[in-house]
Structure 1
């Protein structure tokens, strides 16, 4: 089965393209320069050229703080783009799998957020992603939206790579300890989407709708950073661990408000397909080991 992957240069998009063959699938990866999802005519062109049996959208405007001042662009990519994809998919008779985010919630609560919980995004990024979900649902019944959280991985910019850089530069740093969520490795997200795509290829359908998927157990950014440094030191990615101080969100003001509670209830995906949450600490170990193997000598020196 041929899959058109939008956003193929992103964290999850790259993993989708690299791993598709392991699932017996053919991924046609398109980055923004090749396919701008805000341009309907480009979508139609690619559907006619490649004739995919499914679209997976990993393209998104993900600069959370920049979205506050670049609202028009955030909505163009996160709302209008998914609407264009869903409308084109409906005309072509193919399904759409789409990635969304924990930022659709307000971040208040003390239990994992379910798919049917009230949404109340606190910033432009979350609001634009929620609008994208709604646009897809209005255009295309055969869709599956996968919300995830705290994405990190081998490719692109993410919290793990930022901590490695800061850990190499500083003896100590403060990390927010009052925001809680589930770190989720990009390759693992790609694996879930590709498993679902293979299931569709074999069965001809999926239980369409909204699902949650994230790593476990829940932790704070501070906990996440401590584990990154512990593992990185053991692998030799860092010569020594920096001292990490827990700080409050109020001590690190940002243009966009982050959800204090980003823990997702992933039981629906498990009940429907038997897909379980993975331990993010094990996935982190895999990412750091891959970084340790592939770092060039000059790059390793800069982390020492």
Structure 2
């Protein structure tokens, strides 16, 4: 029984706790209805040792906008905090993105993220490729990723990533500039991305599963996790997160929540060590 490492060197230099926090549910689809609650969740995450927060400029509705919530909760920012954001999708009047930014629009989106977060550089910026999860595998990231690479050379971005990308798209991006992270759909019951995960392992790239506890139409099956959870006196969500941490040393799950109770439950999963028997049972 091996205990998974608790930290990962992002881009070979930034030490981050492997269990991070996704801010989407604070601004979209969660139970939060007031900014004060969202701020409390973010501050508690930092108190629990989370230093990797994932956000996007298009996360938000009304007074609940992820960038502004993060800035209100955590600025002035701790030196070890990594804030990751995504560019690519754009809002066209609604609260969900319906358009795709052109290469010429990306600089403006990055500058807007800098302004809204109150930073002089962004720690990690993903190019989020278009389409539903897993459906953008034919799109070339080339021209748009090259724009982000130039912004990295200018010092506005420290590390680059790709999201919703296949193995070929990751390889193409890496031919343009170093890729520090990939953010794709992956969890204990959705493992279709093993080729990308393997490429990340070979090259020391962080693999950041979004929807690590399922989401949308792609949900976990609690019954398949219940036996392992009962043996460890844990929740099925904790088992799902522990599985992600155990499956590869490069995985950095970013479970999101809008309640303090679920936040504390999720973070406690980092202390759950699954046995070889547990992993075999989970398949």
TM-score norm. by structure 1 comes to 0.33
Bigger helix share: 1
TM-score norm. by structure 2 comes to 0.35
